[in-house]
Amino acid sequence: MVFNNPEFTLYQAPMDQPIILPTQINRFLKELNDTPSKLDENYKLLAQKLLSLHQDKNPFTTLPEYDYDRLEKGMHCRACGSFNTVIKNYDLVCGKCSEQERIDQAVLRYIQELKVLFPEIKITTQIIYEWCKEKVSKKTITRILKKNYVSTGRTCDTYYE
């Protein structure tokens, strides 16, 4: 067990336990590096196997193709992902798991989601209104955007950054 926080102190540490305290880490690592190790054929085979499995290109970096019009829109639960949500008072309530989230927080989460999926889209009241499947009023969305983002423009072409 290694405790690496330099401000940590362990009182009455049991002597029979493998505990390394913050002041012992450098000495422990030096001792570990200075200890000669005997590598047999199994270690060499393991190293060769690991090298053969090395992948320069991460297969998980390719994203599936998607576009704005084909994605399902709506307010989904932050806990279970269900679109079975309703607005009660100032909360978004999940009909599946009963999770509650403040509408302001949910809308901010959807804005962030939209920015990640479509970084080129300008964030407007209308876009967020559509993204939330018209469950939240445009007035509420505008209030949230004005409170958390800087507006550019003054008419129907106003967007937020």
pLDDT of residue 28: 92
Please say whether the beta carbons of 114 and 127 come within 8 A. Answer: yes
Q: What is the CB neighbour count within 10 angstroms for residue 104?
A: 16
Kindly indicate the confidence band of residue 88, based on its pLDDT and cuts at 50, 70 and 90. Answer: very high
14 occurs within a structural domain: no
11 occurs within a structural domain: no
Please say whether the dihedral angle defined by the alpha carbons of residues 37, 41, 46 and 52, taken in this order, is positive or negative. Answer: positive
101 occurs within a structural domain: yes
Contacts of 133 (CB under 8 A, 6+ apart): 73, 74, 75
Mean pLDDT of 88-92: 93
N- to C-terminal Cα distance for the chain?
47
Q: Residue 156: is its pLDDT beyond 80?
A: no
92 occurs within a structural domain: yes
pLDDT (tens digit per residue) in 99-114: 999 999 999 999 999 9
Please say whether the beta carbons of 68 and 118 come within 8 A. Answer: yes
Sequential DSSP letters for 21-49: -GGGHHHHHHHHHHS-----HHHHHHHHH
61 occurs within a structural domain: no
Rounded distance between C-alpha atoms, residue 85 and residue 83, angstroms:
6
Rounded distance between C-alpha atoms, residue 28 and residue 158, angstroms:
60
Q: Residue 48: is its pLDDT beyond 90?
A: yes
Q: Which domain holds residue 145?
A: 70-160
84 occurs within a structural domain: yes
Q: What is the CB neighbour count within 10 angstroms for residue 99?
A: 16
The angle formed by the CA atoms of residues 9, 15 and 16, to the nearest 5 degrees, is 130
Lowest mean pLDDT: which of 10-14, 45-49, 144-148? Answer: 10-14
pLDDT of residue 139: 95
Q: Residue 34: is its pLDDT beyond 80?
A: yes
pLDDT of residue 105: 96
Kindly indicate the confidence band of residue 128, based on its pLDDT and cuts at 50, 70 and 90. Answer: very high
Kindly indicate the confidence band of residue 154, based on its pLDDT and cuts at 50, 70 and 90. Answer: confident
Burial of 133 (0-12, 13-18, 19+ CB in 10 A): middle
Contacts of 10 (CB under 8 A, 6+ apart): 3, 19, 21
Tally the domains of the chain. Answer: 1
